[in-house]
Amino acid sequence: MYQFNFQPVFDSLDLLAYGAWLTVKLSLMAMVLGFGVSVLGAVGKTSGIKPLRWLIDIYVEVIRNTPFLIQIFFIYFGLPAVGLSMSPNSAALLALVINVGAYGTEIIRSGIESIPKGQIEAGRALGLNPVQIFRYVVIRPALRNIYPSLTSQFIYLMLTSSVVSVISANDLASAGADLNARTFASFEIYLTLTVIYFLLALAFSTAFGMIRRVFFSYPASR
Amino acid sequence: MTLNRRLFTTLAASALAFGLVAPAIAAELEDIESAGTVKIGMLVDFPPFGIQDSAGKPDGYDADVAKALADYLGVDAQIVPVTGPNRIPYLLSGQVDVLVASLGVTEERAQKVDFSDPYAGISIAVYGDASVEVTDAAGLSGQAIAVTRASTQDSGVTGVAPEGTEIRRFDDDATAVQALMSGQVKLIGASNIVMSQIGAATGDRFDKKFDLSSQVQGIAVSPGSDALLDKVNAFVEQAKTDGMLDGIHEKWLGEPLPDFVKTAQ
């Protein structure tokens, strides 16, 4: 029977808490920036400008069909060869934004394409200008339609961020690995990490639910 | 009853493990000379000290030293592959006469086997870009240094690094070295083995900044094999002075035998 000893974990709770905070910060920034990339990507893809569409297609296909681990290695170890050197944490953020941007582009594109042509024509008939049409008639209902897939992608992003410790970025997983290297209480540490990641995912999920109620709960016929 | 028997087995096993029951079998120099072969235990899973060549034969630094030792004794070498955990039992039970098995010289081991003078060593040091001027631990402040997480170099660097050192921990040697080679860090805590492996590719781009710790390795014989030990020591002494160990070290590790091995007793 394995004897649990959580003392090493309790002794270093501040280390883990700091790691968790960095994971939250990293994920939040990646979500916000990644959302921006996704909207731009989706708009570009549905714009009808062919070369732009091809470029975005290449980006989406390359990122969605390669492992995140390879992408982050490439950004951290490969880019310095062309003179682009950045800190592990910046490289981690960039890799996460590029990764979630590709998935988000596809998700939001499907949302935009779910808007019936007639709805846009109705907007035009009401005398809305193109910016207003995009804002109220296209993107808002589009986001509402794909909101669950987008937010689960964001939560997946937060869990994926545990990989960034391979380039020595500081996050919850790397705090756990450092603690493990010092105390060898692997089972206790990874059990604690599991609980923290689970609680973080739950918190994000709750927050997304609240955002949904605020922004997307207007009356709709469907 | 079952419990008692199990208890007895456990006790017997631990007694064996601690060498209380089976007395060490000394190797007699005369026996080796009359047999015409010396049985030498060697690791084959510890590059570049002990490896297997493409034909499956033991090769590496230890193999070259073992062959030279047999030549010195004027007998044939019969190399017996051993593993880290079983090398000392192999020696004490007489299955091998000597160990040229990268056995690090420690207090605990010296109580069980007799060590020759050191014939090899592994050192942990801070290496870095030749352009970076760091000569001691205090110079690490404000620098980023790569180490392998939970390795000897991790604890070595963590132990001496002053406030303001950015220690970047990677999961294995290869990734830590990659961080150095790609320029993401200018410094690395690494062993001379790892650095000799990348030395071939990088030339004089990196140099050693300062030492962290070192461990010398000795040739080991069973306690009581005094005639053999004298002969082994004479061999090590000669191999050090006539440059033979320098040559073998140069061949496998890219540099002559380090000074800390030559001077250590």
A220 touching chain B per CB within 8 A? no
Q: Tell me the pLDDT tens digit for each residue of B253-265.
A: 888 888 888 887 6
Task: Average the pLDDT over each of A131-135, A182-186, B38-42, B209-213 and give the range with the smallest value.
Answer: A182-186
| Most confident of the ranges A20-29, B52-61, B148-157, B195-204 | A20-29
DSSP state of A79: G
CA distance linking residue A103 with residue B143, whole number of Å: 37
Q: What is the pLDDT of residue B21?
A: 47
pLDDT per 10-residue tile (average), chain A, 222 residues: 82 92 96 97 93 96 96 93 89 97 97 94 93 92 94 96 92 91 85 96 96 82 48
Residues 6+ positions from A146 with CB-CB distance below 8 Å: A107, A108, A110, A111, A114
Cβ separation of A85 and B183 shorter than 8 Å? yes
B179 touching chain A per CB within 8 A? yes
B173 touching chain A per CB within 8 A? no
Q: What is the pLDDT of residue A84?
A: 87
Q: Encoding tokens for residue A121? A: 């024509």
* Tokens 């590790």 belong to residue: B253
Give me the interface pTM, i.e. the ipTM.
0.77
Interface probe with A: pick from B167, B169, B173, B187, most Cβ of A within 10 Å = B169
Other beta carbons within 10 Å of B171: 16
Identify whether B48 is preceded by a cis peptide bond (ω within 30 of 0): yes
A125 touching chain B per CB within 8 A? no
Q: How confident is the model at residue B3 (pLDDT cuts 50, 70, 90)?
A: low
Q: Which of A32, A30, A21, A33 is nearest to A171 (CA)?
A: A21
Torsions phi, psi for B18 (to 5 deg): -90, 5
Cβ separation of B178 and A177 shorter than 8 Å? no
Q: Where are the alpha helices (DSSP H) in chain B?
A: 2-17, 29-35, 61-73, 87-92, 107-110, 152-160, 173-181, 192-202, 226-241, 244-253, 259-263
CA distance linking residue B212 with residue A188, whole number of Å: 32
- Above 50 in pLDDT, residue B187? yes
Using a CB-CB cut-off of 8 Å, the residues of chain B touching A78 are 182
Hey, what amino acid is at B105?
Answer: V
- CATH no., domain B21-121+216-263: 3.40.190.10
- Above 90 in pLDDT, residue B64? yes
Cα nearest neighbour of B154 on chain A = A181
Using a CB-CB cut-off of 8 Å, the residues of chain B touching A167 are 170, 179
Hey, what amino acid is at B169?
Answer: R
Using a CB-CB cut-off of 8 Å, the residues of chain B touching A174 are 169
- Above 70 in pLDDT, residue B204? yes
Q: How confident is the model at residue B19 (pLDDT cuts 50, 70, 90)?
A: very low
- Above 50 in pLDDT, residue B78? yes
Question: Helix A140-160 crosses helix A13-45 at what angle (to 10 degrees)?
Answer: 140
Torsions phi, psi for B43 (to 5 deg): -75, 145
Shortest distance between the Cα of B8 and any Cα of chain A, in A, equals 22
- Above 60 in pLDDT, residue B22? no
Number of inter-chain CB pairs under 8 A, A vs B: 38
Domains of chain A as residue ranges with CATH:
14-215 (1.10.3720.10)
Identify any residues that bridge with B102 across adjacent strands, giving them in sequence order. none
Using a CB-CB cut-off of 8 Å, the residues of chain A touching B148 are none
Q: Tell me the pLDDT tens digit for each residue of B94-118.
A: 899 999 999 999 888 898 899 999 9
In this complex, the residue of A80, A166, A182 whose CB is nearest that of residue B171 is A166
Q: What is the pLDDT of residue A108?
A: 97
Q: Residues for chain A: how many in total?
A: 222
* Tokens 């002794």 belong to residue: A11
For CA atoms B7, B10, B15, B21, the dihedral sign is positive
CA distance linking residue A174 with residue A178, whole number of Å: 6
- Above 90 in pLDDT, residue B28? no
Q: What is the pLDDT of residue A4?
A: 82
Cα nearest neighbour of A73 on chain B = B175
Ranges of each domain in chain B:
21-121+216-263, 123-214
Cα nearest neighbour of B150 on chain A = A181
CB A108 within 8 A of CB A115: no
Cα–Cα distances in Å, from A172 out to A15, A19, A200?
9, 4, 11
Using a CB-CB cut-off of 8 Å, the residues of chain B touching A178 are 149, 169
Other beta carbons within 10 Å of B61: 26
CB A91 within 8 A of CB A168: no
Hey, what amino acid is at A195?
Answer: V
Cα nearest neighbour of B173 on chain A = A166
Cα–Cα distances in Å, from A51 out to A11, A54, A58?
57, 5, 11
B182 touching chain A per CB within 8 A? yes
Q: What is the pLDDT of residue B1?
A: 46
Look over chain B and give the mean of its residue pLDDT values, rounded to a whole number: 87
- CATH no., domain B123-214: 3.40.190.10
Residues 6+ positions from A150 with CB-CB distance below 8 Å: A38, A104, A107, A108, A143
Q: What is the pLDDT of residue B7?
A: 62
Question: If DSSP codes are grouped into helix, strand and coil, which group holds residue B265?
Answer: coil
Over residues B128-156, mean pLDDT: 91
Residues B129-146 as b/e (b if ≥16 CB within 10 A, e otherwise) read beeeebeebebbeebbbb
Give yes or no on whether B21-121+216-263 and B123-214 have one common fold: yes
CA distance linking residue B221 with residue B26, whole number of Å: 8
